Structure 1
Amino acid sequence: MKLVVIPGDGIGPETMSVTVDVLKALDQRFGLGLQMEHAIAGKESLAKHGTTIAPGLLDLVKNSDGLMLGPMSTYEFKDESKGEINPSKFFRINLDLYANIRPAKTFPNVPTRMDPFDLVVVRENTEGFYADRNVESGNSEILVTKDVVISLRRITRLCCERIAKSAFELAMTRKKHVTIVHKANVLQIADGMFIDICHEVGKSYPEVTIDDFIVDAMMALVARDPGKFDTIVTTNMFGDILSDLTAELSGSLGLGGSLNAGDNFAMGQAAHGSAPDIADQDIANPFSLMTSAAMLLNWYGGRKQLPHYVQASQALEKAIEEAIDARETTKDIGGTLGTKATGQAIVRKIQLAA
């Protein structure tokens, strides 16, 4: 597998460094034949090349089998004419990574107020209310006057169909329960279509139980008892917010893995931001990025029918669980280690299990 690695901004270089160490350990144990090519994007690229996405980077990624993207300072990138391109958006759109898969689950030794749960949010990734990806050229926010702004939301049948299919296929490997999250009481046409299409797709999966909730009610229900849910499918903005909530309810946003997948390519990406306030202090939790790496290996192994990649993914997830049980983790989830030492602990567990 040819893998492009982009460390990102803030805590990205620290968490990506230990994740690369873990991938090397998995490569050695399972004979994956990983070929990792390192590149830059974000602030480092902006300083070096005058743009967050250098010429040739997209071609480099397209000629690979997968991408590991570290957290980016996306909020600071506001003017594309000045080279300030949102790398996350850039790759999602240009590689058509329409499905953002974000699992969240509790661990026995991670402090949380919740009863045990294990769910996944399946978020549409390429349209919705996101103004930077809704039109062919320009931006879908319109400054009508200095006091009036209109923001357009795009919902299409194609995007609804393929995210619904992704959710139902995933549900078939889990508890066979899909929850549709929407705001059809207000966005009657767009979210009405989204609900209808999800039910249409669901007819091909008769074993799956389907229910639906308005997004504001869903937030309250998840905050009260996330264990009632399994596979949640929703549109872009609702999924963005809801998946951050579910990750934090599990004990820490630093536990939240994320896979951005299309039909022929996938990108592992930490679910959290670049956290510049804790950068370079050796305290950042690397498990979000490691879990994303595990998801990428699993995706690739499934698509290419390579069981040793799936086994490597499972071994990494098991090592993370064992580290959490042993409290060999960063302080945010009850451990005493720094970022680097946490990575070393995962590497040892992978090596000793061989």
Structure 2
Amino acid sequence: MVSNDGRVNPANATTPRIGLLVGDGIGHEIVPAAQATVDAAMSAVGAPAVEWVDLPVGFDAIAEHGNPIPDSTLDALDGLDGWILGPHDSAAYPPLFRGQLTPGGTIRKRFDLFANIRPAQAFSGVRATAPDMDLVIVRENTEGFYADRNMFTGSGEFMPTPDVAMAVAVVTRRACERIAHTAFALATGRRRRVTVVHKANVLALTTGLFRDVCLEVGRQYPGVEIRTEHVDAMAAHLVRRGADFDVVVTENMFGDILSDLAGELAGSLGTAPSLNASETKAMAQAAHGAAPDIAGRNRANPTAVMLSSAMLLDWMSARRADDLLGLAADRIRLGVTGTLAAGVATADLGGLASTAEFTETVGARILRR
């Protein structure tokens, strides 16, 4: 993709095919905003236009197919390079579907999206408790205490009597190794520091195995500094000195909690992107929920899903050796950060911009040469 004189050659670029699953609530506003942002960025760098594939999920899919995540949607995802998933409001689904895997959970399990990569970065123009924070939490996404992910079939939770509830945590060497490699490879392109978070003083066998395997893998990356922290101490450290951390790798539940904490410390979950990935598939999905209370009011903040989409383009760029996708991702980040720094923000960040106005401003910045 890059010629001998360092210029990107667009002639070798191919048309990316990306699935678009708007989901529920504010997904109907923020996912199209992300789509428009990606289109602007691809145009700005001279890349082929994305072929978007609209697929039903959530309430729309229930109405059309009688299922929040129909087989036709899952089958279509198989043929795509990646996809953008909007938030789902599964708690409001009809009772028949409330005890089932959420649409996002079903997709993660179907495609073995074992790495949940969640950056937490403070932005100029956004008030933050930790204004110098710039870290990435790498969360193992398939095991641990999460009942919807740790069994081949059935649930990891059960009740032997009406008054006793139990849960099984699953931790395997294979899952620990692959998430550790993801974290250490990521750190080599950043500040070359990895913090392994566990609770081996209490969960000695499960999180102890996670810690030990991560340390074993870390020895294959001699240029990367390795630290270990108990999860309770890590939560305190994020509040007190979040800027000291670079890449944090941890198991499923710890990663879910710590990434939400880090996102808020950096400013807001509304600005917190996320990517779920395997070796062959990736899904952009903002860390926040469907916010049904403001859905349809043109007030939702699309920042997180825009930045998640940039992460998807980066992942596709590396996998396809397509530098134009990486340049488009850079354009999205510059457009978003420049817009926030200029004081243009939605109401959740203290601004006056509507979803549409924020999106238009980001798009205009992306298209500036």
TM-score, structure 1 normalization: 0.96
2:202 to 141, 163, 186: 186
- Aligned residues of 2:128 and 2:267 also touching (Cα < 8 A): yes
1:24 paired with 2:24, answer no
- Aligned residues of 1:53 and 1:83 also touching (Cα < 8 A): no
Partner of 2:157: 141
1:269 paired with 2:278, answer no
- Aligned residues of 1:50 and 1:83 also touching (Cα < 8 A): no
- Aligned residues of 1:71 and 1:270 also touching (Cα < 8 A): yes
Aligned 1:32-71 pairs, distance under 5 A: 32-71=48-87
Change (3 A) 1:280 1:78: closer
Change (3 A) 1:65 1:58: same
Within 2, Cα distance between the matches of 1:80 and 1:241? 28
- Aligned residues of 2:91 and 2:98 also touching (Cα < 8 A): no
Change (3 A) 1:77 1:248: same
Deviation at 1:10, TM superposition (A): 1.1
Aligned 1:87-236 pairs, distance under 5 A: 87-236=103-252
Partner of 1:290: 306
- Aligned residues of 1:77 and 1:86 also touching (Cα < 8 A): no
Change (3 A) 1:187 1:84: closer
Deviation at 1:160, TM superposition (A): 0.3
Deviation at 1:330, TM superposition (A): 0.8
Within 2, Cα distance between the matches of 1:293 and 1:208? 28
Structure 1 residues 157-166 or 110-119, which shifts more? 110-119
Change (3 A) 1:246 1:82: closer
Change (3 A) 1:36 1:129: same
Change (3 A) 1:141 1:342: same
| Identity within the alignment, % | 41
- Aligned residues of 1:115 and 1:225 also touching (Cα < 8 A): no
Partner of 2:11: none
Partner of 2:9: none
1:12 paired with 2:27, answer yes
1:308 paired with 2:324, answer yes
TM-score, structure 2 normalization: 0.92
Could you tell me which runs of 5 or more consecutive residues in structure 2 were left unpaired when the two chains were aligned: 1-15
2:333 to 310, 317, 331: 317
Structure 1 residues 181-190 or 82-91, which shifts more? 82-91
Within 2, Cα distance between the matches of 1:55 and 1:14? 25
Could you tell me which runs of 5 or more consecutive residues in structure 1 were left unpaired when the two chains were aligned: none
Partner of 1:257: 273
Within 2, Cα distance between the matches of 1:225 and 1:178? 15
The amino acid across from 1:188 in the alignment is A
RMSD, aligned α-carbons: 1.5
The amino acid across from 1:18 in the alignment is A
The amino acid across from 2:109 in the alignment is I
Within 2, Cα distance between the matches of 1:85 and 1:98? 16
